């Protein structure tokens, strides 16, 4: 046949995209922030951080490096931890007024996400809801590139430095949502694993289980081939579903989490473990930045959003709050007990990567095995085993299930469809776990 024939449109996706993150990793790397920004042509740089991190060494190092490279620097140190539509808008005003041509963020996921949003609205002004994911916002595509953004994570969890996602609480609807675009991905991540040295044990546990769940959910997400083929390459979603590229990062991140998570929580002096967990966070960020996460994260937004009394050691005690990684992992044993029989080989492989001593297990054992490995690791790190330990009861199940189902992008990325009854059953499972 002549080669000019167009291929017939397949009903399902046949292509996956590899969106690379630029990462520099290692002790001392934060001192490279200035030269990296100068190389992009930036001259007037905004540094974003939060009041807690703002006084610490990483911010001083980055600020000195930016000034040392001959660039102008303005610091915004009022990033809200767990940002909201209002705090994103406030950061955007700072960015717009400063007419910056470069951004650097130093802190956790909240800081990096706020810098992404501020750069977006300062560069491409629009109504706040224009770029916000549907159904909360209009989900309009970001119209063009953003100025260079160097992201410097100081925890070992969110992976935000490798993703084009900015998450916030939309206060008018009391729901967590976000903005997702490849154009929001930071230009370069500078990951210095020594930043985790001073983190309290429970902060390492929460962020470590966030890493583990990023990897596990990427590894078990709905395969990219199950999506309909997009109408154009630009319409291919960033969260493509599980694919061969995301598997590369997920597998290694799971292996490292199995080796190092418990050790990193138990001993702040265990440099090998804390550095290993930082690298796992970066790999898992690259993986889920291409594949997306699913049910444990969808459920986490309801668990974190409806908390009444729970306070976590190692975190500010003023308000009831469930740290993100804990609100995710409490759902994981229940979710993976349910999913393992639908994809036994993949769940068994994940259990083996996390815990090599289960090597002799067979596919028939998959159902409870991964959940048991997770529960054991949670016990060994003192993390609450389920949602009952966070103060929830059977009377909350309907509400929690409805809240989780609002996260349609994440629920649709699960390997099997989940309706309201199933979601309730998953939450009942989290109560049974403790």
- Please work out the total of residues on this chain that contact Fe ion, with binding judged by CB under 5 A: 1
Q: How far is the CB of 301 from Fe ion (least distance, A)?
A: 10
Instruction: Classify 323 in phi/psi space as left (phi over 0), alpha (psi -120 to 50) or beta.
Output: beta
3-state secondary structure at position 100: coil
Nearest to 177 by CA among 399, 416, 410, 335: 410
Query: And the tokens for 7?
Result: 């291929």
Q: Which is nearer to Fe ion, 147 or 186 (CB)?
A: 186
Least separation in angstroms between residue 326's CB and Fe ion is: 11
DSSP classification of residue 224: G
Cβ closest to Fe ion, residue 47 vs residue 280 = 280
Judged by CB, which is closer to Fe ion: 65, or 218?
218
Question: Binding marks (x or -) toward Fe ion, 139..168, rule CB under 5 A?
Answer: ------------------------------
Interface of this chain with Fe ion, residues 57 to 96, rule: CB under 5 A: none
Rounded to whole angstroms, the Cα distance separating 184 from 149 reads: 9
Q: What is the smallest separation between the CB atom of 160 and Fe ion, expressed in angstroms?
A: 9
Residue with tokens 């963020």: 105
State which residue, 69 or 390, has the beta carbon closest to Fe ion: 390
- Cα separation, 36 vs 269, in Å, equals 31
Residues 220-259 that bind Fe ion (CB under 5 A): none
Q: Which is nearer to Fe ion, 216 or 264 (CB)?
A: 216
C-alpha distances in Å from residue 135, one per residue of 240, 302, 354, 422:
19, 17, 36, 22
Q: 101 or 210, CB closer to Fe ion? A: 210
Gap between the Cα atoms of 35 and 264, Å rounded = 32
CB 233 to Fe ion: min, Å: 27
Asked if 324 contacts 206 with a C-beta cutoff of 8 angstroms, the reply is yes
H or E element in which residue 166 lies: strand 165-170
In the complex, the smallest distance separating the C-beta of residue 210 from Fe ion, rounded to whole angstroms, is 4
- Could you tell me where the DSSP H helices lie in 221-329? 244-266, 271-291, 295-305, 324-329
The least CB distance from residue 211 to Fe ion, in Å, is 8
**Least separation in angstroms between CB 208 and Fe ion:** 11
- Residue 288 C-beta: closest distance to Fe ion, Å: 8
Report the residue closest to Fe ion, judged by CB.
Answer: 210
Are 211 and 203 a contacting pair, CB within 8 Å? no
Residue 101 interacting with Fe ion (CB under 5 A)? no
Query: 210 vs 247, which CB is nearer to Fe ion?
Result: 210
Which residue, 210 or 349, is less far from Fe ion as judged by CB? 210
User: CA 399: distance to chain centroid?
Assistant: 24
State how far the Cα of 381 lies from the Cα of 208, in Å rounded to an integer. Answer: 10
Read off the tokens for 408.
């349609």
Footprint (CB under 5 A) of Fe ion, residues 187-226: 210
Interaction with Fe ion in 4-23: which residues (CB under 5 A)? none
Which residues are near Fe ion by CB under 5 A? 210
């Amino acid at each position: 046949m002549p080669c000019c024939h167009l291929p017939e449109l397949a009903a399902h996706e046949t292509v996956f995209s590899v969106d690379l993150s630029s990462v520099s990793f290692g002790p001392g790397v934060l001192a490279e922030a200035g030269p990296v920004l100068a190389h992009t042509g930036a001259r007037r740089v905004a540094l974003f951080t939060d009041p807690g991190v703002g006084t610490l060494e990483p911010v001083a190092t980055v600020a000195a490096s930016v000034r040392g490279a001959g660039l102008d620097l303005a610091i915004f140190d009022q990033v809200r931890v767990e940002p909201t539509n209002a705090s994103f808008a406030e950061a955007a005003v700072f960015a717009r007024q400063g007419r910056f041509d470069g951004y650097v963020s130093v802190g956790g996921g909240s800081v990096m996400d706020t810098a992404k949003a501020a750069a977006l609205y300062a560069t491409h002004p629009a109504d706040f809801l224009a770029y916000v994911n549907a159904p909360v916002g209009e989900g309009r595509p970001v119209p063009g590139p953003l100025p260079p953004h160097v992201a410097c994570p100081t925890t070992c969890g969110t992976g935000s430095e490798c993703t084009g996602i900015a998450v916030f609480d939309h206060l008018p609807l009391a729901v967590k949502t976000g903005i997702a675009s490849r154009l929001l991905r930071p230009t370069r991540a500078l990951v210095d694993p020594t930043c985790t040295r001073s983190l309290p044990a429970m902060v390492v546990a929460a962020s470590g289980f966030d890493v583990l769940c990023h990897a596990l959910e990427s590894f078990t997400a709905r395969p990219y081939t199950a999506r309909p083929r997009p109408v154009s390459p630009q319409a291919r979603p960033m969260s493509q579903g599980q694919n061969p590229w995301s598997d590369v990062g997920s597998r290694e991140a799971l292996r490292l989490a199995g080796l190092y998570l418990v050790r990193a929580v138990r001993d702040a002096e265990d440099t090998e473990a804390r550095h290993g967990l930082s690298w796992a966070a970066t790999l898992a960020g690259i993986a889920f930045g291409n594949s997306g996460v699913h049910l444990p994260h969808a459920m986490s937004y309801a668990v974190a959003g409806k908390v009444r009394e729970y306070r976590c050691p190692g975190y500010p005690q003023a308000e009831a709050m469930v740290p993100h990684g804990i609100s995710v992992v409490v759902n994981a044993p229940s979710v993976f007990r349910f999913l393992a029989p639908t994809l036994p080989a993949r769940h068994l492989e994940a259990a083996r990567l996390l815990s090599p001593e289960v090597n002799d297990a067979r596919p028939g054992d998959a159902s409870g095995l991964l959940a048991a490995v997770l529960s054991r690791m949670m016990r060994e790190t003192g993390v609450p085993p389920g949602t009952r330990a966070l103060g929830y009861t059977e009377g909350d199940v309907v509400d929690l299930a409805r809240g989780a189902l609002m996260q349609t992008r994440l629920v649709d990325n699960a390997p099997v469809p989940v309706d309201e009854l199933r979601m309730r059953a998953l939450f009942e499972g989290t109560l049974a776990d403790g």
